Amino acid sequence: MSDAATANPVHEWIAKSVSEHDVILFMKGVPEQPQCGFSAVTVQILDHLGVDFVGVNVLQNDQLREGIKTFSDWPTIPQLYVKGEFVGGCDIVREMFQSGELKTMLAEQGLLPDA
């Protein structure tokens, strides 16, 4: 069998989504209505910074919910990706926000609205 035949279609979809969106958050719920506190905090941080992002509700599909964990090798949700790179979950995003590191990273990528 070729690699393509054995590839995980959920991982393929996640990889495609991550590559198509500069900032994407795999979360529980949607940005307008997060369904867990960690997702809500991460959305609040991104909204506070004014960054455009796409939210993907992992609760809509069990394969997606499990697939994102194996895709990133990260056990928890939410998961933030910027320019194709896995940034981290809620605690990492919050720490990066508090230190100013997240804003700097997003600014360097040209993803923040002009101040």
59 falls within a domain: yes
**Residue 39 lies in domain:** 3-108
C-alpha 69: how far from chain center: 11
pTM of the model: 0.92
115 falls within a domain: no
The confidence score (pLDDT) of residue 104 equals: 97
The confidence score (pLDDT) of residue 78 equals: 98
Collapsing DSSP to helix, strand or coil, 74 comes out as: coil
Tens place of pLDDT for every residue, the chain, 115 residues?
444 445 799 999 999 999 999 999 999 999 999 999 999 999 999 999 999 999 999 999 999 999 999 999 999 999 999 999 999 999 999 999 999 999 999 999 999 986 5
Q: How far, in Å, CA of 115 to CA of 113, rounded?
A: 6
Number of domains forming the structure of the chain: 1
